[in-house]
Amino acid sequence: MRVGVPKEIKADENRVALTPSGAAALIAHDHEVIVERGAGRGSSIDDDAYVAAGAHLGAADVAWAAELVLMVKEPSGEELRHVRPELVLFTYLHLAANEPLTRVLIERRVRAVAYETIQLDDGTLPLLAPMSEVAGKLAVQAGAWCLQATNGGRGILLSGVAGVRPAKVVILGAGIAGTSACQVAVGVGAYVSILDVQPAKLRYVHDILGGHVTTVMSNRANIEEEVRSADLVIGTVLIPGAKAPKLLSRALVAAMRPGSALVDVSIDQGGCSETSRPTSHRDPIYVEEGVVHYCVTNMPGAVPHTATYALTNATLSYALALADRGFEDAIDADPALRRGVNVADGRIVHPGVAAAFAS
């Protein structure tokens, strides 16, 4: 099969949907890979690396002419003219929030498989997890930067030094992003506590990090006690399919020490603090109630090289299945991949997307 990898055109999107080693894997399965020139540049991957892997370079038109097109973000603008019947499109789509694109995919009878709805039998979302891991790990780095005096912070070094206490980091939510943040915060030597409503999640963190982290049941009183004394709060809570719960009231944020920091990873679901509002990589922080807030909605965009490798590690086996078996056979063989199909044969297939447009 011909597999195309266009360069992303969305603003500030520097990831690419396939790495050179991913291209080599597809080529080893007798597929032809066409990568748009410069597609990897934003992730610090040269065209030469794709050529060395056996891929062909071409213009956008050539990459889009392939039977299977791999992308990171949904097609938009100029890209929409390439969307045509029988095309298998594999990318993040987020269609429930994008009715115009959904209509185009239906009208043009595209077979659209969304990364974000591929779901294993246990309910987990394997193509969202790598980005939560990147965001969680990055949150500690972002928080350390917020705490620097030049950014309005208290001027605290997370690790402390000999004779000086480390910073106190409080992590709300012990899922993928929270556990990842916890590992980094413990690793740099901060004093870390982590809260969740699920005892099993806390037990897991306790097991992997032992005595280096304090696990605390999440409830109003415990959140207040932990947050008041925190230098850095990292919000990573998620209630699937719902807006993030507002665990931090404005009054609680105001009660934190001036120059403390809040990194709200949950901001893409509305944020877990009353004081959070979305920011961008170009202007990532603001100070409210004396606390430095970092609320970037696409945190992995700051580290596109790592994010590209993390994403493609997770997508490649599905891309290989689609290329090897063809769309119909591949989705018949794998229920997880089948749940990823959002639009096919001129209709919405995914129940969540259908529900979003039901009214």
Ligand X SMILES: NC(=O)c1ccc[n+]([C@@H]2O[C@H](COP(=O)([O-])OP(=O)(O)OC[C@H]3O[C@@H](n4cnc5c(N)ncnc54)[C@H](O)[C@@H]3O)[C@@H](O)[C@H]2O)c1
Span near ligand X by CB under 6 A; candidates 9-17, 151-159, 265-273, 327-335: 265-273
CA neighbor of 242 nearest in space, from 266, 219, 259, 220:
266
According to CB under 6 A, which one of 174, 205, 230, 321 is a site residue for ligand X?
Answer: 174
Tally the residues of the chain. 359
Choice among 47, 268, 324, 334 that is catalytic: 268
Q: Segment contacting ligand X (CB under 6 A): 8-16, 194-202, 282-290, 331-339?
A: 194-202
> Does residue 260 bind ligand X (CB under 6 A)?
no
CB of 41 to ligand X, least distance (A): 22
Annotation says 29 is catalytic: no
27 binds ligand X (CB under 6 A): no
Give the one residue of 36, 79, 116, 196 binding ligand X; rule: CB under 6 A: 196
- Using rule CB under 6 A, residue 299 touches ligand X: yes
268: annotated active-site residue: yes
Q: How far is the CB of 295 from ligand X (least distance, A)?
A: 8
Which one of 47, 56, 94, 212 is the catalytic residue? Answer: 94
Exactly one of 93, 146, 267, 303 binds ligand X (CB under 6 A); which one?
A: 267
| Binding to ligand X, residues 30-49 (CB under 6 A) | none
Bridging pattern class, strands 261-264 and 232-235: parallel
Q: Closest approach of Cβ 174 to ligand X, in Å?
A: 5
Q: Please name which of 81, 75, 109 lies closest in space to residue 95, comparing C-alpha atoms.
A: 75
Q: Which is nearer to ligand X, 137 or 154 (CB)?
A: 137
Nearest-angstrom CA–CA distance, 98 and 279? 21
As measured in angstroms, the least distance from the Cβ of 338 to ligand X is: 22
> How many Cβ atoms from other residues are within 10 Å of residue 318's Cβ?
21
Closest Cα to residue 263, out of 133, 142, 132? 142
Give the residue with the Cβ less far from ligand X, 148 or 297. 297
Measured at the alpha carbon of residue 100, what is the angle toward residues 339 and 130, in degrees to the nearest 5? 40
Residue 175 in contact with ligand X, rule: CB under 6 A? yes
* Stretch of 64-72, 106-114, 203-211, 242-250 contacting ligand X, by CB under 6 A: 242-250
Are 306 and 282 spatial neighbours (Cβ–Cβ below 8 Å)? no
Q: What is the total count of residues that contact ligand X (CB under 6 A)? A: 32
Would you say 84 or 203 has its CB closer to ligand X? 203
| The one segment of 51-59, 62-70, 176-184, 303-311 that binds ligand X by CB under 6 A | 176-184
Is residue 324 a contact point for ligand X (CB under 6 A)? no
Please list every residue from 117 through 136 that binds ligand X, using CB under 6 A: 131-132, 135
Q: Which residues are catalytic?
A: 94, 268
Q: Which residues bind ligand X (CB under 6 A)?
A: 131-132, 135, 172-178, 195-198, 201, 218, 236-239, 244-245, 247, 265-269, 297-300
